[in-house]
């Protein structure tokens, strides 16, 4: 935990370093002090089809973190702040950066690991 999905508008692939965005998001989650590095799962999804605002050049990054519900509001705020601090230098050309934290319903979450 957490599961992190970064959605970004397709034109940003030409403007920012997406692999670095993934790495910096990962580092921000580590810097929060809430998770071990090996537990953080991050993936980025390019959105080719999107409509945002009225300008054809509008673009976005939306980061969604799904975590178990045992974190306080203060811990979640630290997580948001650490991630944003790590990515802000990469996002100067981005019209909208949003970060969202969702609590996973643990009764409806399943995880299976490969045998070691």
Of 108 and 14, more confident: 14
Span 61-81, pLDDT tens digits: 999 999 999 899 999 999 999
The answer, yes or no, to whether residue 96 has pLDDT greater than 80, is yes
DSSP string, 60-92: EEEEEEEE-TT--HHHHHHHHHHHHHHHGGG-T
Whole-number Å distance between alpha carbons of 45 and 108:
24
CATH of domain 3-106: 3.30.429.10
């Amino acid at each position: 935990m957490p599961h992190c999905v970064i959605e970004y508008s397709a034109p940003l692939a030409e403007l920012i370093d997406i692999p670095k965005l993934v790495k910096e998001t990962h580092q921000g989650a580590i810097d929060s002090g809430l998770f071990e590095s090996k537990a953080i799962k991050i993936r980025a999804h390019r959105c080719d089809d999107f409509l945002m605002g009225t300008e054809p050049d509008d673009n976005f990054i939306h980061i969604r973190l799904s975590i178990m519900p045992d974190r306080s509001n203060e811990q979640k705020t630290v997580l948001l702040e650490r991630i944003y601090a790590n990515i802000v230098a990469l996002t100067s050309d981005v019209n909208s950066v949003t970060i969202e934290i969702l609590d996973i319903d643990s009764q409806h979450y399943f995880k299976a690991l490969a045998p070691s």
